[in-house]
Amino acid sequence: MSDDVVIIGGARTPFCEWVGGKRGDGKPGGLLKDYSALKLGEIAIKGALEKTNTSPEDVDHVVMGYALQTCGQAIFGARHAGLGAGIPQEVPMLTVSRICGSGVQSIVNAAQMIKLEEAEVVVAGGMENLSQAPHVLRGGRPEYRLGRPPQEGEALSANMEDYLFTNLLDGFCQSFMAQTSDEICKRKGVTREETDAFAAMSHQRTANSIEQGIFEQEIVNVDEIGYRDEDHVVVDSSEESLSQLRTAFGPESLVTAGNASGVVDGAAAVIVKSASRAQKDGDTPLARIISWGIVGLEPAIMAYGPVPSSRKALENAGLSIEDIDRWEINEAFAGQAVACVKDLGLDIEKVNVNGGAVGLGHPLAATGTRLVLTLAHELKRSGGRYGVATACIGGGQGIAMVIESM
């Protein structure tokens, strides 16, 4: 019979506004702009190893999510992050992408490896630097030889492409990610007032968590940048102030800059072990992984992904909505989160109690790991037993994980 799988602990970097945006206080973003996703991943892995007293030599595998591969060495992904963190070169390392679900997917991969007895100790996480998303020149290979790209001052043969903007659009359904939130809100009858009320709550809860140091135990510094430097949140957000913001896609849209997730940079990692190995090592695990659920759905309503994936994860766990003490739902957009909360029939006092991505930001592949880590700490803090971490995924998927506090 396969062993239980447990999360020993983990760490994340601060999540900081990307260089193309404004912080919550109105100042320019970019605190982490000079740290590649691989470097941020390295820092998160080091932090997770240190916080759990795990030796790099004890690691059997590294799995890191990386969605929008932005840096010059992106192809090496998890390999460079793991090696940089001091994990021996003999240890295999895997980069995965399930876009916004990558940070949960990496933990699923870790659990599967342990269940299959391929590993006992796995580092799992996600990393992202959206500030470093490049502008690219497509179609230039016939003109520019390998290793000889156009140089400063040369006239370009074609227009540049904004690689970040391009990937906000799902070409299959011809919808921007934000439009999938508007679509599910339209189908479920979510109003602008409900959306802004949820967003105001997210900003307020996030600001409170930062002020009270709730996230301090899960954050490691990036040089001098620490837990009080998480800067997307707008501290004085209110329903009234949010209602004054212009919508992104015309009068029927609900999405605004204030009720959508923040574009931020960051990374997160957790240490996952077999229960027997954890006992042997004398660990006190944070949580046990009970189940997960991964689904596909109509791309035009990808934002609805948390609903079917959570139902599947709960079914796999043999649990019901009523059994769950805390929920971490990625707030890709406030309207989308409202639709999911309403359809699942959740008590809002159990959902994102320390804030969410509208206030904190959403560094794509890092978010899922952050959700699971924050959830595990919150269950411990509140005395809850079961929790669900879940996210929608661009392209029309959803992912959810059920954990039990230990």
CATH architecture entry for 169-215+290-405: 3-Layer(aba) Sandwich (3.40)
Query: What is the C-alpha separation between 64 and 301, in angstroms, rounded?
Result: 27
Is the pLDDT confidence value at 305 over 70?
yes
Per-residue pLDDT averaged across 134-162, rounded? 92
| Burial readout 161-182 (b: 16 or more C-beta within 10 A, e: otherwise) | eebbeebeebeebebbbbbbbb
Work out the pLDDT band at 249, boundaries 50, 70, 90: very high
- CA-only gyration radius of the chain, Å: 20
Give pLDDT tens digits for 358-374: 999 999 999 999 999 99
Give pLDDT tens digits for 334-358: 999 999 999 999 999 999 999 999 9
- The string of DSSP codes covering 139-156 is T-TTTS-TT----TTPPP
Same fold, 5-134+264-281 and 169-215+290-405: yes
Burial of 224: CB neighbours in 10 Å, binned 0-12, 13-18, 19+: exposed
φ, ψ dihedrals at 130, nearest 5°: -80, -20
Tell which residue, 220, 282, 216, has the closest CA to residue 50: 220
Give pLDDT tens digits for 7-63: 999 999 999 999 999 999 999 999 999 999 999 999 999 999 999 999 999 999 999
pLDDT value at residue 303 = 96
Q: Which of 16, 100, 185, 340 is catalytic?
A: 100
Query: What is the C-alpha separation between 296 and 287, in angstroms, rounded?
Result: 27
pLDDT value at residue 377 = 98
pLDDT value at residue 157 = 83
pLDDT value at residue 355 = 97
Query: What is the C-alpha separation between 262 and 232, in angstroms, rounded?
Result: 6
Per-residue pLDDT averaged across 173-179, rounded? 96
Helices marked H in 93-174 — which ranges?
Answer: 102-115, 163-166
Q: Is 5-134+264-281 CATH 3.40.47.10? A: yes
Q: pTM for the full model? A: 0.97
Q: How much helix, strand and coil, in percent to the nearest 5, is found in the chain?
A: 40, 20, 40
Query: What is the C-alpha separation between 216 and 145, in angstroms, rounded?
Result: 49
Average pLDDT, the chain: 97
Per-residue pLDDT averaged across 141-154, rounded? 91
Is the pLDDT confidence value at 2 over 90?
no
Give pLDDT tens digits for 71-108: 999 999 999 999 999 999 999 999 999 999 999 999 99
Query: What is the C-alpha separation between 113 and 134, in angstroms, rounded?
Result: 34
Retrieve residue 247's tokens: 């919508």
Query: What is the C-alpha separation between 141 and 148, in angstroms, rounded?
Result: 10
Is the pLDDT confidence value at 1 over 60?
no
Query: What is the C-alpha separation between 53 and 50, in angstroms, rounded?
Result: 5
pLDDT value at residue 118 = 97
Among this protein's residues, is 100 annotated catalytic? yes
Work out the pLDDT band at 218, boundaries 50, 70, 90: very high
Give pLDDT tens digits for 253-303: 999 999 999 999 999 999 999 999 999 999 999 999 999 999 999 999 999
Q: Which of 16, 71, 185, 392 is catalytic?
A: 392
Among this protein's residues, is 71 annotated catalytic? no
Would you list the domain boundaries of the chain? 5-134+264-281, 169-215+290-405
